Amino acid sequence: AQTVTQSQPEMSVQEAETVTLSCTYDTSESDYYLFWYKQPPSRQMILVIRQEAYKQQNATENRFSVNFQKAAKSFSLKISDSQLGDAAMYFCAYRTGANSKLTFGKGITLSVRP
């Protein structure tokens, strides 16, 4: 079974600092996509970043970058220069072509201290 694990339910970061959110997954597939979604208290789920398993280069989107370790099945999200607007629930998700379902982790609530 495909699983996505986000072991930390909550994290806190000082504004302007860097924080890393961890995510591990379990799969026997070789081709898959990984995603990080952000859901602020206003509730709309927003795609932050995505990574294709075949690409060795880690994806980056402005202040957001991932550390993709395929052998370790790890997909962590680094947020640099944290801003108050980064406060949200972050979900790691995974999908393969063999299964059209997005498998989500339990999510992590990130708070940003001014």
Partner 1 sequence: DTEVTQTPKHLVMGMTNKKSLKCEQHMGHRAMYWYKQKAKKPPELMFVYSYEKLSINESVPSRFSPECPNSSLLNLHLHALQPEDSALYLCASSQEPSGSIRETQYFGPGTRLLVL
**What is the x/- site pattern for partner 1, positions 48-67, by CB under 8 A?**
--x-----------------
What is the size of the binding site for partner 1 (CB under 8 A)? 25
Handedness of CA 43, 10, 27, 74 (dihedral sign): positive
Residue 94 sits in the site that holds partner 1 (CB under 8 A):
no
Instruction: Pick the binder of partner 1 from 42, 56, 71, 72 (CB under 8 A).
Output: 42
In SS3 terms, 58-97 reads as CCEECCEEEEEECCCCEEEEEECCCCHHHCEEEEEEEEEC
Tokens matching residue 109: 């609530």
Residue 109 sits in the site that holds partner 1 (CB under 8 A):
yes
Name residue 34's beta-bridge partners.
51, 94
Instruction: Pick the binder of partner 1 from 44, 71, 85, 114 (CB under 8 A).
Output: 44
Instruction: Pick the binder of partner 1 from 31, 62, 83, 113 (CB under 8 A).
Output: 31
